[in-house]
Amino acid sequence: MKIEISKMLQKKKKQVLDLWMKNQLKDANLREDLMSNDELRVQSEELVDALLKKLTDENLADIESADFENVYEILSGISITRARQGFSPRETGTFVFSLKEALFETLQQELKGDPVALYDVTMKVNKLIDSFGIVTFETFIKGREEVILRQTDEITEISTPVIRVWDGILALPIIGTLDSARTQVVMESLLQEIVNTSSSIAILDISGVPAVDSLVAQHLIKTVSATRLMGAECIISGIRPEIAQTVVHLGIDLSNVITKSSLSSALKHAFSVLQLEVRKKQKENYSLKNM
Amino acid sequence: MEKSRITTTTNSMTILTVLNRDNFKIEREQDVVPFRNRVKEHAVKIGMGLVNQTKLITAASELVRNMLRYANGGEILIEVVSKIRENGIRLTFTDKGPGIENVETAMKDGFSTGKSLGLGLPGAKRLSSEFTINSVVGKGTVVTIIKWKNG
Amino acid sequence: MEKIPILKMGQFLLVTIQVDLYDRLALNLESDLVQMVSTTEARGVLIDISAVSIVDSFMGRIIGNIASMSKIMDAVTVVVGMQPAVAITLIELGLPLSGVHTALNVEKGMELLKNKILVNGEVPDYDDDEQYDDLDSTQ
């Protein structure tokens, strides 16, 4: 007589769970610092529940069965939270694969007398749990990638701070390499800020840009021209001697761009354009008046 | 809207999935503004940023103008396409005009047979992420551009 | 036929483009504006494009034409309020509109026009006077 493996496993659910927990807990590398044993039990129970509820003898051999959708969802959830909590891939992998041992042990006890059936079901369970493992890894990586993407966005945002140095004067210090994608972000945030503050002068400081090749120079010229189209003036400051050398050696024409060696000289130029003057307070005058 | 999934391959052999398609006929000058608005609608729907939207619509505007000037109009296929992780808009401009004799020269800045600045084709190419042109003299011209959401 | 209204403000003409232009409309604007410069003997033309979301090479050419035509009729053209996205696109398109004066908004555009017209002849040493005034008031 053929035994219904799924029914049998469903009946033995508690045993499977206990065995799985035992396997997990005896592992010396268990991360009790990241997750308490109770939480781990809740997580494990949820997965075993979902799996055994949907398991039939038919879908056991079909890892792509729609019946397992819920299981895959739970697995993905577990995997993503674990990635965020800082579990290593190995730890997350071990979590899933240790379920296999628990299932095998249970099956072995139940099917002692029927090695053929045992072999058959072992192979199927093996395949199923492997597929679970793969899903876990995929979502684990996806979780990590999301973190990386978010950080990339954050870095782009942080790396283009538009500063209002004076009424009508903006400054944008660029730190790091300029590529097309970044220039677009720089250009957009600078131009938008010009509109928001109705500033007539923008200073682009490139002292933090490691190298200026013809492509970067082209990006800079584009930014300057776009600023001009909007009705503001753009000064490029922070031209280090090395940069001046490469620019000339590469034959890049910056003659239509106002360039200054330092941010302070650019600011001075901006002041003179806006007809502003900064000077030291004259104490003598003050004391003369008091006499 | 109709959701058909058709997979095609472009020159670079990347697999593109078409998520949505929409046809537009251009017969006279007044069709240009509604067409630009239609392109904009699709671009907004996939979450394209303002600058890329503007680049796409400007490129489209240049190409539509060429179609009107040299071929008295034509048809445009607007498609939302997706590649691995990115969505984009693909526009295919088909006309039955006289065709372009020397595509290479036509792609150069400042070249124009008509009375224009000659920025149409090269400008549209610079504004798009991908650009292909096929022209047969006497038969017509097909220009395809793609603008990716983030490119 | 639709028309873009042209307002006269003293020595200046003011045009605010509120709709997306198709070619005929833009061409009409060009001829209307040049006509107006001639009849009113305007010294400056201010074109506000802050509501325009697309400027392609055709529109760019019209703007350039208006500027050049006004110039030979002794009027200065200032284009104001260009959207950042439009500016970026025009540069990428290869159309820097180098012959056209620009300003951030109508107010600054007016200021620029006044300065240009003063610099161009009527009160040549105006700037110097102002500087002397400044010195007087601070002392």
* pLDDT, average across residues C17-39: 87
Statement to judge: residues A141 and A256 lie in one domain: no
**A178 domain-assigned:** yes
Same-domain pairing of A49 and A107: yes
Range of the domain at A194: 163-273
Domain holding A114: CATH number? Answer: 1.10.490
Alpha-carbon dihedral A122, A125, A127, A132, rounded to 10 degrees: -150
| In a shared domain, residues A91 and A229 | no
Name B76's bridge partners: B24, B93
**Is the domain of A201 the same as that of A130?**
no
**What is residue A3's predicted lDDT score, i.e. its pLDDT?**
64
List, in sequence order, the alpha helices (H) in A111-179: 115-158
One domain for residues A146 and A13:
yes
A243 shares a domain with A219: yes
Question: Which residues in chain A are contacts of C84 at CB distance < 8 A?
Answer: 187-188, 191-192, 194-195, 226, 230
Same domain for A168 and A111: no
What is the pLDDT at residue A234? 93
Q: Which long-range contacts (CB under 8 A, 24 or more apart) does B22-27 make?
A: B22/B77, B22/B78, B22/B79, B23/B75, B23/B76, B23/B77, B23/B78, B24/B75, B24/B76, B24/B77, B24/B78, B25/B73, B25/B74, B25/B75, B25/B76, B26/B64, B26/B67, B26/B68, B26/B73, B26/B74, B26/B75, B26/B76, B27/B72, B27/B73
In a domain, A288, yes or no: no
Whole-number Å distance between alpha carbons of C54 and B89: 18
For residue C100, give how far its alpha carbon lies from the nearest alpha carbon of chain A (Å).
Answer: 9
Of the residues A130, A153, A176, which one is the last residue of a structural domain? A153
Q: Does C7 touch chain B (CB under 8 A)?
A: no
Q: In what order do the strands lie in the sheet with A169-175?
A: A163-166, A169-175, A201-208, A233-237, A258-259
Q: A68-83 pLDDT, tens per residue?
A: 888 888 888 888 888 7
pLDDT value, residue C134: 40
CATH code, A198: 3.30.750.24
Rounded (10°) CA dihedral A116, A120, A126, A131:
180
What are C47-60's pLDDT values in tens digits? 999 999 989 888 89
Q: Does some domain include residue A287?
A: no
Question: Is residue A228 domain-resident?
Answer: yes
**Do residue A9 and residue A143 come from a single domain?**
yes
Q: Which of A188, A191, A224, A229 is the mutation pick for testing C, counting most C CBs within 10 A?
A: A229
For B151, nearest residue in chain A (alpha carbons): A181
* Structure tokens belonging to residue B1: 């809207």
Q: Which CATH number fits domain C6-138: 1.10.3720.10, 3.30.750.24, 3.30.420.40, 3.60.40.10?
A: 3.30.750.24
The per-residue pLDDT string of chain A (291 residues; one tens digit each, 9 = 90 and over) reads: 456 778 888 888 888 888 888 888 887 777 777 788 888 888 888 888 888 888 877 777 777 777 788 888 888 888 888 877 878 888 888 888 888 888 888 888 888 888 888 888 888 888 888 888 888 888 888 877 888 888 887 777 777 788 999 999 999 998 888 777 788 888 888 999 999 999 999 999 999 888 888 888 888 889 999 999 999 999 999 988 988 888 888 888 888 889 999 999 999 999 999 988 888 887 665 555 555
Domain assignment present for residue A139? The answer is: yes
Q: Do B123 and C22 touch (CB under 8 A)?
A: no
- The chain A residue lying nearest B49, using CA atoms, is A188
Which chains border B (3 or more CB–CB pairs < 8 Å)? A, C
The pair of structure tokens assigned to C39 is 């009849």
Give this complex's ipTM: 0.79
For the sheet with B15-26, list strands across it. B6-9, B15-26, B74-83, B86-95, B140-148, B130-136
Query: Which of A104, A119, A153 is where one domain is finished?
Result: A153
Nearby residues of A267 by Cβ (< 8 Å), 6 or more positions away: A165, A166, A169, A171, A203
Hey, are the CB atoms on B123 and C53 less than 8 Å from each other? no
With beta carbons under 8 A apart, name residues in chain A contacting C82.
229-231
Domain count, chain A: 2
A230, A255, A273, A282: best to mutate for the C interface, most C CBs within 10 A: A230
Q: Are A200 and A261 in contact (CB under 8 A)?
A: no
The predicted pLDDT at position A184 comes to: 80
CATH no. of B6-148: 3.30.565.10
Residues A13 and A140 placed together within one structural domain of the fold: yes
Q: Indicate the domain borders of chain B.
A: 6-148
Spatial contact of B145 and B80, defined as CB atoms under 8 Å apart: no
Q: Please say whether the dihedral angle defined by the alpha carbons of residues A18, A22, A23 and A25, taken in this order, is positive or negative.
A: positive
